[in-house]
Every structure is written in C-alpha cells, then in structure tokens.
Amino acid sequence: MEGLVVLGSGSRGNAIYIGAPNTRVLIDCGLSPRQMKLRLNGIGVDPASLDAVLISHEHRDHIGGLALLKRLPRTTCYANRLTAEAMTDSLPGPPARLRIFTTGEPFTIGDFVVNPFPVLHDALDPVGFELKLNGLKIGVATDLGHATTLVRQRLKGADVLVVETNHDENLLKENARRPWPLKQRILSKTGHLSNAAAAKLLADTAAATTRRIVLAHLSQECNTEPLARQAVLAHLELVGLGDVPIEVSRQNTISSHISL
C-alpha cells in the first residue's frame, strides 16, 4: 500500500508506516510484535514485504516490537551507532540485519532519500526523520523537548508533518499521579513537546502546500485530542494556514490513510 499511516502513537508504543511504489518502511517499531502484525495486516500490508525499519531512538516504546524482524527475511533495521548499541544491550535478540547510519548524513532506501536529524530528547542519540520521495517531503519529529533551528529547517515546508503534541502544560502540572521529578523531565528541553510548543513549531514550518498535519504521542493522562487540535489550529490560523487538515493519532487505533 502506498501512503502514510500511523499504526499507533503514545507512551505504550509507536510506529508509522510509509509506502512508496517500490519501497515500504516503518519509522519505529514500538508496538508488540503481535500488534505490529495485526495493524499492518489491517491496512493490507504483509509484514514480510517491509524493506526497512528506521529507529529514532532506543526507548522501549519505539523498539519494543523489533522481535518481529526475526521473521522478516528481507527487512533491514536502520539506526545510528549509539542507538544500535543501546538496542543490542536492551533487547533479548537485536535485529540480525542492522545497518548503521550517521546522524545528519542522508542515505537512500529504495524510493526514499532519508535524512536523519538530531533532536533534543533524553536518549543517547535521538533523531527525527526527513524523507523525500519524488519531490514530496515528509517530516517526522515525535519525541523532543525543544525544537531547535535545525529541526525547524528539516521540517520546513513538508507536504506531510508528523509532530509530537505530548501534553497540555496545565494538565501535566496539575496531575496528582505524576511525581514532580517526572514532570520536570517531561517539561525540560530533553523531554516532550507541549501543545503550545508544538503549535508554534507547526505554524513556523507548515506551508500552503502542506497536505496534512498529524499530531502524535499524546499523553493519555495529561492531554486530550480537542486541546491538542485547538492549540495547533489557533496558531495555524494566525499565519493563514487554518485550512490545513489536522489529524490526531491514537495509541490503540490506526490513523486514516494519507496519500502521498
């Protein structure tokens, strides 16, 4: 299947499918192997047809389903060196077909030119991804506490933007179940983007040619879909982009299909 589908996004697992005419890739593989297979089959994709899995960082909600690759003879896992080393240490059996990329250096996987760029997050060497396909640009940044100038440059003008809207700051601060050190981590520059920060980032990077914005990695305790959507829409309207379609991805369901 050609197009982009978020298979799941949140603290319990993340995975994005992107299909081109001759190439099928995942960005992250954080759902369980069973869920990865079920959700891929749910969009008409045989897991065995995947060409590559791109890993953004080593946190469990982004690599927890990599055991699936042991049953996929043609699928190669791509990660930078520090992330690959951390995966090898944390997984019972790391992917057999592993290729190392260098952050900041583009490489090609079939139809895609992939440019991994550094992001600020509390992992060893976390990245976002800029993918180009026949003049079309996809920007993905789902775990970061602050959007640097470089992040803005890599996302600028993308046809499809997948960006984290993790939390509403007030809901996070008022949440009695979360200890203050955890709140400090989430609010830090190496934590997660708030709705307000993501809205500003999207208003700075979206363009009149942007086909779809996908909001990702929403906290189930400290955010709501209406709050995330309203924050982003308000900023887009300020820059004349209020008609760009916004989709909110979910943890337990597959997103709608986005044509490329």
User: Residue 87: enclosing H or E segment and its boundaries?
Assistant: helix 81-90
Q: Is residue 145 helix, strand or coil? A: coil
CATH fold for domain 3-248: Metallo-beta-lactamase; Chain A (3.60.15)
Q: What pLDDT digit, counting tens, does each position of 182-236 carry?
A: 999 999 999 999 999 999 999 999 999 999 999 999 999 999 999 999 999 999 9
pLDDT computed for residue 96 by the predictor? 73
Helices assigned H by DSSP within 114-218 = 149-155, 169-174, 180-187, 195-205
> Cβ(218)–Cβ(198) under 8 Å?
no
Q: How many residues does the chain have?
A: 260
Sign of the C-alpha dihedral computed for residues 120, 133, 60 and 102 taken in this order: negative
**Exposed (0-12), middle (13-18) or buried (19+): which is 257, by Cβ within 10 Å?**
middle
pLDDT at 213: 98
Reported as a single tens digit per residue, the pLDDT across 118-170 is 999 999 999 999 999 999 999 999 999 999 999 999 999 999 999 999 999 99
Where in the chain does DSSP place strands (E)? 3-8, 15-19, 24-27, 52-54, 76-80, 98-101, 107-109, 112-118, 127-133, 136-141, 160-164, 212-216, 246-248
pTM (2 decimals)?
A: 0.96
* Per-residue pLDDT band at 94 (split at 50, 70, 90): low
Residue 91 has pLDDT above 80, yes or no: no
Residue indicated by tokens 């960006």 = 163
pLDDT at 225: 97
